[in-house]
Amino acid sequence: MPTNGHEIVRLENAWKVYQMGTEDVKALRGVNIMFEKGDFWAIMGPSGSGKSTMMNVLGCLDRLSDGAYYLDGKDVSQLDDDALSELRLRYLGFIFQSFNLIPQLTVQRNIELPLYYLGWDAARSAERAKELAEQVGLGDRLSHRPTELSGGQMQRVAIARALTNDPQVIFADEPTGNLDSATGVQIMDILVKLNKLGKTIVMVTHEPDIAAYAHRRLHMIDGNIDRIEEGEHRTLTAPSAGHASPPDGSRRAETFVAPGEDVTHATRKA
pLDDT of residue 252: 29
User: Does residue 88 sit within a domain?
Assistant: yes
Residue 27 maps to a domain: no
Torsion sign, CA atoms 47, 48, 51, 57: positive
pTM to 2 decimals?
Answer: 0.82
Whether residue 30 lies inside any domain: the answer is no
- Domain annotation covers residue 213: yes
Q: Tell me if 239 is assigned to some domain.
A: yes
133-160: string of b/e by CB count within 10 Å (b at 16+)? Answer: bbbbbbeebbeebbeebeebbbbbbbbb
Q: Residue 122 maps to which CATH number?
A: 3.40.50.300
The pLDDT of residue 88 is 93
Per-residue model confidence as pLDDT tens digits over 10-60: 999 999 999 988 899 999 999 999 999 999 999 999 999 999 999 999 999
Domain count, the chain: 1
Question: Is 25 a domain residue?
Answer: no
Q: Examine residue 115 and state whether it is found in any structural domain, yes or no.
A: yes
Query: What's the pLDDT score for residue 21?
Result: 87
Within a domain: 138: yes
Q: φ, ψ for residue 210 (rounded to 5)? A: -75, -40
Weakly modelled stretches of the chain, pLDDT under 50: 1-4, 236-270
User: What integer pLDDT is reported at residue 45 of this predicted model?
Assistant: 95
Tell me which residue range forms the domain holding 235.
39-63+80-269
